[in-house]
Amino acid sequence: MYRSSISSSEHMGHSGDLRWLVRCASAALLALLVCAIAALRLGGGLELPATTTRDSALLALNRYLREPIPDVVLVGSSLTFRLSEEYFETPRLRNLALAGGSPLTGLEIVAHQSQLPKIILVETNVLSRPADDVLVEKYTRKQQVESLFLRPLRFGVASYENWMHKPASHSKMADALNRLIMQAPSDFDNRTYMERAVSQLDALDPSPAVRMSVEIVRGLIPELEERGAKVFLFELPYIDQVEKTRAATITREIVHAAFPESSRWLPVDVARSDLRWADGVHLDERSALITARSIEKIFAVRSHGG
- For residues 84 and 207, membership in a common domain is answered with yes
* Domain shared by 16 and 161, yes or no: no
How many separate domains does the chain show?
2
Render pLDDT for 277-286 as a digit per residue (tens, 0 to 9). Answer: 999 999 999 9
Question: Tens digits of per-residue pLDDT, 50-86?
Answer: 334 556 677 888 889 888 999 999 999 999 999 999 9
- Map residue 103 onto helix, strand or coil: helix
Chain mean pLDDT for the chain? 82
Report the CATH number that the domain containing residue 294 is assigned in CATH: 3.40.50.1110
Clarify whether residues 18 and 127 are in a common domain: no
At 47 the pLDDT is 31
**107 with 161, same domain?**
yes
Secondary structure of 220-250 in HEC code, one letter for each residue: HHHHHHHCCCEEEEECCCCCHHHHCCHHHHH
Give the residue, 130 or 3, on which the prediction is more confident. 130
* pLDDT confidence tier of residue 302, bands split at 50, 70 and 90: confident
Q: What gap in Å lies between CA 160 and CA 111, rounded to an integer? A: 27
The reported pLDDT for the residue numbered 303 is 72
Determine the pLDDT at residue 174: 86
Residue 13 belongs to domain spanning: 1-44
pLDDT digits (tens, 9 = 90+) for 89-105: 998 999 999 999 999 99
pLDDT at 159: 52
